[in-house]
Chains A and B, each alone.
Chain A
Amino acid sequence: MASASASAGYRVCPVTGLKVFLPTERLIQAVAVSAVVALLIGGIAALFVVLNRWLGPDVVAPSRFYMWIALHGWNMLVFWIVLFEVALLYFASSVLLSTRLVWPRLAWVSLGLMVVGVALTDVAVVRTPQNYLSFQPYVPLQGTPDFYLGPILFTVGSLSALAVFFATIYTAQKEKVVGRSLPLVVYGAAVAAIIAVATLVVGAMAFIPAFLWSLGLVGSVDAFWWKLTYWGFGHPAQQINLAAMITVWYFLAYITVGGVTPSEKVSRLAFVCYLVAINLGSAHHLQTEASGALSVPWKWINTGYLVHLAVLGSMIHAFAVPAAIEIGQRLRGHGQGWFRWLIKAPWGNPAFSSLVLSIALFGFLGGTSGVIYGTEQPNLLWHNTLAVVGHFKGTVVLGTTLAFMGVTWYVLPLIFRRQVVGRPLAVVQPWLFGVGMALLAVAFMKLGVADGVPRKQGDIFLFGGSAFAFPYPAHVWAWMAVAGIGGLLGVLGGAIFVGLVVGTVLMGKRLSEAELKGGYGLPGAVPAPVGGAVHSLPVPKGTLVLTIIFWLFFLAMYLRAFAQLSSTWPLGH
């Protein structure tokens, strides 16, 4: 059996029973390692960004700050996350469907393009101050050609990886390896991939003209057009992260506690909401522009009804994922009372604590703040302040990155087949990272909304010696210290993560089939009655209570934002 599978180019995972094709496994390993390298570069940059904001220009000079924040943004928000997502797509299509990855050579070429893209951008930034351009390198600030070429190559590489993903699913269905309905986790990954195609095509529409312009081949690029088009890439890129994160949530709920979604139908419909509406989220980056340029109905329909349809999708997942955990726990015998399922959860498993922290912190900090901040009027108060940074620490850091870190604790034993080194550190890691970044997120939102402290600003202490410099009130520095301490804890949590991953990949004990089976068995025997009669599933009543608390919090924060706005100077009346 073993030799038969080996000659067919796959092994059977002793834990999941899935066929793992060896070319897929090698690819996932290479892509995941590249992702972690990007995370490391972005993390080093994060340290200097935090030190500048907290301790001032004497510690990190403003011009250095612009360099570090450019490196931080590109490596974290694009390179780390997208590379990890590519690994996820290969995993979802090939491993979960127990099928071979088609076009493996194209997949390697795509990884090569992405790595060259990362290198070009990073070197371009470090090489010349002209390229100290953050993740929003708005035209007509001009970078050198290689600065634009990096993201373009990265985009072409990502699109090739997406082609491999779609072709793999298509082939699996054609060869009847999988039926017409994909597993929910693969379905979610496919939704992320479709959003990614649209996103990357728009990205090319923004970066190719900018590239030609930097070469002197195009006379000028309209600044307003460019910002609009750029966000057609910049924001949907975060929606890929959202869809990928939710997909990982469902996967982790299954693999850690045998979770079962309360309704396959509803969970899939929620993903469809993303597909239909979420790219319009980019419109909310143009809320502070005069309505003569972008009309009130345009803003209302795009950033109101249409985006809120996507928000409805997220609200549905906000119930379905915790409910999946609760149902899994109840099926495994922790069925008494309202919250025993939560108390009796496997908190010692870093993948599980990452999952719960990711869900809770994304919901309360990232998701709610995003909806409020994306709303036409509160945006006036938030735009380009530290509050924006607080928001996306809540989404892509506490949500996506924490979820990706969580799933890594399974990738290491099951795909790399190595025992995670420093297990006690791994148990603390999600808490250190989660609590630290949550402190920073809350402090930044406070500093942005209440005091308008700007983001992308290299010196809020002395304003580079400007004649018009002024001091911020004392409470600003108190909150900045909270952010600074939180940021350092976050960097420490990130460093532990990178250290353990590198340590495991290089020095972790190789796991035999028997050890894998013994140590990483799936929780309980829950032959998921997927799509089975609804009444056979326990009622997730604890989740309903928790989500109603969340609902009330959301409404209160929304109204609070308008109350804060109403005390500012009347505008546009």
Chain B
Amino acid sequence: MVTAPERVWWRVPVSRAEMVWIVLAFLLVMVFFSLWMALWHGIGRQNATGAAYKVAPQTYREEVFAFARQWKVGEENGIPVVAPPPGSHVYLLAQRFSWYPILKLKAGETYHLHMASTDVLHGFSLSPHQWAIQLYPGYEWVMSFTPDKPGTYHIICNDFCGLGHQTMLGKIIVEG
């Protein structure tokens, strides 16, 4: 290993113990792990499948404001609480250091979630923990999702977005 090998090193047969291991490792990572990723798109219910659009920050901001005006039912800490009907398109805007608006949804219903940032990168994540999505300025994601358990979910920005990053919280209320 530390000195140069003899010239015929590539002709030396591989021992049986090592062959056993190589076959086992190959089956696990190249066959099972790789295939399972694709299979989960069929059998699993959590995939980052969705549409993506390029969007100017100002255009996206106007889309979200129009949506919030249409379904506003209240206000909390200066942020509108919005209750869109099940099956509809819902919008979230991430900007330093807030999430806009507060969504009020029905448990077990499916919504089409639009998300984008209008300034820097942000990270969408929830507590209690569900999943995290990376957001960019200039790009709008549309993903369908089903909040299937009632409760109050706190949105936490989980990518550093500036010195006020730790205050960037929001809320999704899921009613039973």
B77 contacts partner chain A, Cβ-Cβ < 8 Å: yes
* Residue among B18, B50, B146, B162 with the highest chain A CB neighbour number at 10 A: B18
Chain B residues with CB under 8 Å of A452's CB are: 125-130, 132, 156, 158
For A548, list chain B residues within 8 Å (CB). Answer: 24
When each residue 305-329 of chain A gets 1 if its CB lies under 8 Å from chain B and 0 otherwise, what string results?
A: 1001101100110111001100000
Q: Given A315-B29, A464-B166, is A544 in contact with B20 using a C-beta cutoff of 8 Å?
A: yes
When chains A and B are docked, how far (Å) is the Cα of A358 from the Cα of B48? 35
**B9, A181: Cβ atoms closer than 8 Å:** yes
Q: When chains A and B are docked, how far (Å) is the Cα of A359 from the Cα of B137?
A: 41
Closest to B168 in A: A466
Q: Which residues from A are CB-within-8-Å of B34?
A: 300, 304-305, 308
How many positions in chain B have a CB within 8 Å of any CB in the partner chain? 90
CB of B159 within 8 A of CB of A138, answer yes
Nearest A residue (CB) for B163: A63
Judge whether A300 and B77 touch: CB under 8 Å. Answer: no
Q: How far is the CA of A323 from the CA of B134 in the complex (A)?
A: 42
Tell me if B46 and A227 are in contact (CB < 8 A). Answer: no
Is there contact, CB below 8 Å, between B40 and A572?
Answer: no
- In the complex, the answer to whether A311 meets B29 with C-beta atoms within 8 Å is yes
Determine if B15 is an interface residue (Cβ-Cβ < 8 Å). Answer: yes
Q: Which residue of A lies closest to B25 (CB)?
A: A315
Give the docked Cα–Cα distance between A376 and B22 (Å). Answer: 25
CA separation between A406 and B12, bound complex, in Å? 31
Contacts of B171 in A (CB 8 A): 468
Q: A290-B48, A304-B34, A533-B12 in contact; A454/B125 too (CB < 8 A)?
A: yes
Q: How far is the CB of A200 from chain B (nearest CB, A)?
A: 24
For the complex formed, measure the closest distance between the CB of A299 and the CB atoms of chain B, giving whole angstroms: 8
Q: Answer whether residue A251 sits at the interface, using C-beta atoms and an 8 A cutoff.
A: yes
Q: Which among A132, A291, A544 is the interface contact of B48 at CB below 8 angstroms?
A: A291
Contacts of B141 in A (CB 8 A): 289-290, 292-293
B9 CB to closest chain A CB (Å) equals 4
Given the complex, which residues of A lie within 8 Å of B37, measured CB to CB? 299-300, 303-304, 375-377
B91 shortest CB reach to chain A, Å:
15
Could you tell me the distance in whole angstroms from the C-beta of B162 to the nearest C-beta in chain A?
7
Question: Contact between A385 and B1 (Cβ–Cβ < 8 Å)?
Answer: no
Q: State the Cβ distance, B155 to closest chain A Cβ, in Å.
A: 8
Proximity string of chain B (131-171) to chain A, C-beta cutoff 8 Å, 1 when within and 0 when not = 11110111101111111110000101111111111111111
Residues of A near B143 (CB, < 8 A) are 290, 571-572
For chain A, residues 549 to 573, give those with C-beta under 8 angstroms from any C-beta of chain B. 551, 554-555, 558, 562, 565-566, 568-573
A residues less than 8 Å from B129 (CB atoms): 381, 385, 449-452, 568
**Could you tell me if B15 and A383 are in contact, using CB atoms closer than 8 angstroms?**
no
Does A183 belong to the interface (CB within 8 Å)?
A: yes
Task: Indicate if the CB atoms of B160 and A290 lie closer than 8 Å.
Answer: no
* B49 touches which of A259, A454, A573 (Cβ 8 Å): A573
Q: Which A46-91 residues have C-beta < 8 A from chain B?
A: 62-63, 66
**Given A185-B2, A452-B132: A223 and B138 within 8 A (CB)?**
yes
- 9-residue interface stretch from A155-163, A260-268, A340-348, A430-438: A260-268
User: What is the chain A residue whose CB lies nearest that of B31?
Assistant: A308
Bitwise, B1-35 to A at CB < 8 A (1) or not (0) is 11111111110111111101110111011101110
- The answer, yes or no, to whether B70 is at the interface (CB within 8 Å) is no
Our pick among A141, A264, A286, A467 for the contact of B161 (Cβ within 8 Å) is A141
Which residue of A is nearest B137, CB measured? A223
Listed by A's residue number, 24 A-B pairs whose Cβ atoms lie within 8 Å are: A183-B2, A183-B4, A184-B5, A185-B2, A223-B138, A255-B2, A299-B37, A300-B38, A312-B25, A315-B28, A316-B25, A375-B33, A376-B40, A454-B158, A465-B167, A534-B12, A534-B14, A551-B28, A558-B33, A558-B36, A566-B44, A569-B46, A571-B144, A571-B145
Residues on A lying within 8 angstroms of B by beta carbon are 62-63, 66, 96, 129, 132-134, 136, 138, 140-141, 178-179, 181-185, 222-224, 227, 250-251, 253-255, 259-267, 286-293, 296, 299-300, 303-305, 308-309, 311-312, 315-316, 318-320, 323-324, 371, 375-377, 380-385, 449-452, 454-460, 463-470, 472, 528, 530-534, 537, 539-541, 543-544, 547-548, 551, 554-555, 558, 562, 565-566, 568-573
- B: which residues have CB within 8 A of A? 1-10, 12-18, 20-22, 24-26, 28-30, 32-34, 36-38, 40-41, 44-53, 77, 110, 119-121, 123, 125-134, 136-139, 141-149, 154, 156-171
User: Knowing that A540-B17, A573-B46 are A-B contacts, what are 7 other residue pairs whose CB atoms are under 8 Å apart, sorted by A's residue number?
Assistant: A138-B159, A140-B137, A456-B160, A459-B166, A464-B164, A530-B5, A572-B144
